Amino acid sequence: MSAFRAIIAGGGTGGHLFPGIAVAREMEKRFDRTRIIFIVGHRKMEMNILDRYGYEKQSIDVEGLKGRGLLRGAGVMVRLPKGLYQSARVIKRVSPEVILGVGGYTAGPVCLAGRLLGVPTAIHEQNSYPGLTNRVLARVVNKVLISYNESREYFGAASIVLTGNPVREELFVARENEAKVSSRFTILVLGGSQGAQAINTAFVDALLHLRKQGLSPGVIHQTGNLDYERVEQQYRERGLEGEVMPFIEDMAGAYARADLVVSRAGATTLAEIAALGKASILIPYPYAANQHQDTNARVLEQAGGAIVMKERDMRGEDLAHELGELMGHPERVADMERAALARGRRDAARQIVDQLLEMVS
């Protein structure tokens, strides 16, 4: 097969889209010519990410149902047929060999329309506890591809394959090609693409406590757009050193330079941390649906690759204690790195594309 057409549907966050991009890149490696269309909602962030990677995109009118009140939930249900119709139009126009849903409510009408039109369709679940959309779609699609064995029990009798969560290939290239230029212990702080005020506040406070102990780590701090000015001002006013930015464009370089990651526990970030063999302190988002970030983080913690701190219990002093312990015990950091790497799956994108092509054949 010299040409290959595929639709990848989902989004809502960068965490949903990046695995889809990793799969798209793997498809491009397999075939001389590809046409890959991402179907997403109307969020600007989704558009910006896909523009940055140069992928064709199409928006449909759809909203999530979970967490809506009765009236807003009814409004979402009323709009579902429109999203289904829009999805069917795109599918008929593109005539894809396969459709992959990567999580998020946009995948719902696209995967359903695909099955109604007879297109081989699969979903990929990134979290150990599946989202509502994927739990419903599991009864419809041809295959369910999972990142954690722990999620298998939630999908009933569906055809389930453990693949892992795909990681962008450029992250591996940077890890192998970019030598660490400084011996200074460097901490990478991530709150997700939208940032996390609680993490930002605690980390700045932790740096003050570390300074009192005579410790001055290197810092790469992604604040998120909404909190950037406040955090940057705190660094400046308190005389703290660090690379502070709203969003890290060169994530590959940031990972390559980091000795430790302080982060939320989104599925994509955890997949990257594990595949790259990075020690981490994880602060799960406490309001994530079904506490899936906490569940994800505990899997890595139990493997020995991470320390999990609950946001409600976290103070700057507590975070500084954990940071200081790791800075003072490089052998413990090395153990965590090995444990994380053992949990990682570098070949997830390849395995997913293998499964998709098996459905096509």
Long-range (24+ apart) CB contacts under 8 A made by 348-351 are 348/19, 348/22, 348/147, 348/163, 348/164, 348/165, 348/166, 348/167, 348/271, 349/19, 349/22, 349/23, 349/25, 349/26, 349/166, 349/167, 349/169, 350/26, 351/161, 351/163, 351/164
What pLDDT, in 10s, does the model give residues 284-328? 999 877 788 999 999 999 999 999 999 988 899 999 999 999 999
The pLDDT value given to residue 94: 96
Strand order of the β-sheet with 260-263 is 243-245, 218-222, 186-190, 260-263, 279-282, 306-308
* Per-residue pLDDT at 193 exceeds 70: no
* Per-residue pLDDT at 75 exceeds 50: no
Q: pTM here?
A: 0.85
* Per-residue pLDDT at 71 exceeds 80: no
Q: Which of 186-195, 241-250, 265-274 has the lowest mean pLDDT?
A: 186-195
Check residues 218 and 313 and name the one with the higher pLDDT: 218
Mean pLDDT, rounded, for 190-211: 88
Q: Which of 76, 81, 94 is nearest to 39 (CA)?
A: 94
The pLDDT value given to residue 273: 96
The pLDDT value given to residue 45: 82
Same fold, 3-166+346-360 and 170-343: yes
Ordered by start, the domain boundaries in the chain are 3-166+346-360, 170-343
Decide: 197 and 302 in contact? Cβ < 8 Å: no
User: Is the domain covering 170-343 a CATH 1.10.260.40 domain?
Assistant: no
Share of the chain above pLDDT 90, in %: 70
Q: Which of 69, 167, 171, 60 is nearest to 124 (CA)?
A: 167
DSSP 3-state assignment of 327?
Answer: helix
Average pLDDT of the chain is: 90
Q: Kindly indicate the confidence band of residue 142, based on its pLDDT and cuts at 50, 70 and 90.
A: very high
Residue appearing with tokens 């989004």: 11
* Per-residue pLDDT at 174 exceeds 80: no
The pLDDT value given to residue 38: 97
Residue 87: how many other CB atoms lie within 10 Å: 28
Q: Which of 149, 79, 61, 144 is nearest to 343 (CA)?
A: 149
Residue appearing with tokens 């150990």: 128
Residues 28 and 150: their CA atoms lie apart, in Å, by 31
295: left (phi over 0), alpha (psi -120 to 50) or beta: alpha
Q: Which CATH architecture has domain 3-166+346-360?
A: 3-Layer(aba) Sandwich (3.40)
* Per-residue pLDDT at 179 exceeds 60: no
Q: Kindly indicate the confidence band of residue 107, based on its pLDDT and cuts at 50, 70 and 90.
A: very high
